[in-house]
């Protein structure tokens, strides 16, 4: 096997400078396709400086964005979902939960707690789309419900920032019931004369839209967010025609009277503060 001894020079991969971007330093905007310095996007509150595209952000980033620094106290941080149906598609639900916890560093798709906006006490619930697409099972429903109940107890406003693909199928009928449970809690808030503000961010669809996300005294949307009940693909398949341009985007919902206003992320906190002070007569 002498011929084998003569080792060839190892093949050195040719540097492909034009494709390879150092991980995390540059980001491509999915809307305008520009390659932008990641730090610049971050400094701009995760909004594309070229086209104003609002990148999806985590619940923690959202908290930092709208609440006063250090004012947030999280509640029920350890609450987790249970695979009570032993649901299995390609993967067991219990394994999906574990994987999502590991990947996202969160225990489920919503964080809730108390904090302040310009010193005004509020209760907030924040969705995190990175946890199973922000889907609503019993944990999400329970946290949103407890947020509304806490606001009632504290006599303060309640805010929910939604970003969700809808109900979590792996919890079947119980996930559907969370729509009714959360809406019932909001009915008590309304009766008590306390403000509830729903902020709809990209994307908010399905059972989340058809419950607390549409029930705000003020429904506020981020620009160009996808907001709807039925998914665009399902509609397209049902009616067998192309959907109109801009269908189910924030601007379309504003035009059709379903949201009160579209607010850009940099103005979000000051706008919330202004509205809450009017409703709380401060």
Interacting residue with another protein among 110, 159, 194, 213 (CB under 8 A): 213
First CA to last CA across the chain, in angstroms? 89
Burial, 49: exposed, middle or buried (Cβ in 10 Å; 0-12, 13-18, 19+)? middle
Of 205 and 273, the one with the shorter C-beta distance to another protein is: 205
Give me the least distance between CB of 61 and another protein, in Å please: 25
Which of 215, 254, 262, 280 contacts another protein by CB under 8 A?
215
Q: Is 37 in the site for another protein (CB under 8 A)?
A: no
- Asked if 139 touches another protein (CB under 8 A), the answer is yes
Burial (CB count within 10 angstroms: exposed 0-12, middle 13-18, buried 19+), residue 229: middle
Residues 129 and 166: beta-carbon distance below 8 Å: no
Determine if 51 is a binding residue for Zn ion (CB under 5 A).
Answer: yes
Decide whether 57 or 226 has the Cβ nearer to another protein.
226
Among 21, 99, 180, 278, binds another protein (CB under 8 A): 180
* Residue 247 engages another protein in binding (rule: CB under 8 A): yes
Q: Which residues contact 170 (CB under 8 A, 6 or more apart)?
A: 83, 85, 87, 93, 96, 137
Query: Can residue 73 be called a binding residue for another protein (CB under 8 A)?
Result: no
Partner from Zn ion, another protein, none contacting 51, C-beta within 5 to 8 A by type: Zn ion
Minimum Å distance from CB 194 to another protein? 14
Distance, CA of 217 to CA of 279 (rounded, Å): 10
Q: Are 216 and 253 in contact (CB under 8 A)?
A: no
Count of chain residues binding another protein (CB under 8 A): 61
Angle 7-12-15 from CA coordinates, rounded to 5°: 175
Rounded least distance, CB 200 to another protein, Å = 10
- Whether omega for the bond prior to residue 203 falls within 30 degrees of 0, making it cis, is yes
141 makes contact, choosing from Zn ion, another protein, none, with CB < 5 to 8 Å by partner type, with another protein
Contact between 87 and another protein per CB under 8 A: yes
Nearer to another protein, 151 or 167 (CB): 167
- Closest listed residue to residue 168, CA positions, set 273, 272, 96: 96
Of the pair 36, 176, the CB lying nearest Zn ion is at 36
- Provide DSSP, 193-223: T--EEEEEEEEE-HHHHTTGGG--SEEEE-T
Interface ranges with another protein (CB under 8 A): 76, 78-82, 84-85, 87-90, 138-139, 141-142, 145, 167, 169, 171-181, 183-184, 186-188, 190-191, 206-207, 209-215, 228-231, 234-235, 238-239, 243-244, 247-248, 256-258
């Amino acid at each position: 096997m002498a011929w084998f001894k003569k080792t060839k020079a190892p093949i050195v991969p040719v540097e492909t400078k034009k494709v390879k971007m150092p991980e995390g330093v540059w980001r491509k905007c999915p809307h305008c396709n520009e390659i932008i310095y990641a730090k610049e996007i971050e400094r701009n509150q995760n909004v594309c400086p070229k086209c104003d595209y609002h990148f999806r952000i985590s619940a923690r980033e959202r908290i930092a964005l709208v609440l006063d620094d250090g004012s947030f106290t999280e509640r029920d941080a350890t609450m987790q979902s249970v695979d009570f149906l032993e649901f299995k598609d390609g993967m067991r639900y219990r394994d999906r939960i574990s994987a999502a916890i590991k990947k996202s560093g969160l225990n489920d798709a919503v964080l809730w707690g108390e904090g302040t906006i310009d010193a005004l006490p509020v209760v907030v619930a924040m969705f995190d789309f990175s946890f199973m697409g922000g889907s609503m099972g019993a944990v999400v429903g329970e946290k949103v419900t407890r947020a509304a109940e806490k606001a009632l107890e504290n006599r303060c406003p309640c805010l929910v920032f939604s970003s969700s693909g809808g109900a979590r199928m792996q919890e079947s009928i119980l996930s559907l019931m969370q729509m009714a449970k959360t809406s019932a809690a909001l009915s008590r808030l309304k009766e008590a004369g306390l403000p509830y503000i729903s902020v709809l961010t990209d994307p908010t669809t399905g059972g989340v839209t058809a419950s607390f996300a549409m029930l705000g005294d003020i429904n506020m949307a981020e620009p160009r967010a996808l907001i709807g009940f039925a998914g665009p693909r399902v509609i397209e398949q049902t009616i067998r025609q192309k959907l109109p341009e801009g269908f189910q985007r924030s601007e379309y919902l504003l035009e059709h009277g379903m949201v009160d206003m579209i607010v850009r992320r940099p103005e979000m906190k000051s706008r919330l503060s202004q509205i809450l002070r009017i409703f709380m007569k401060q």
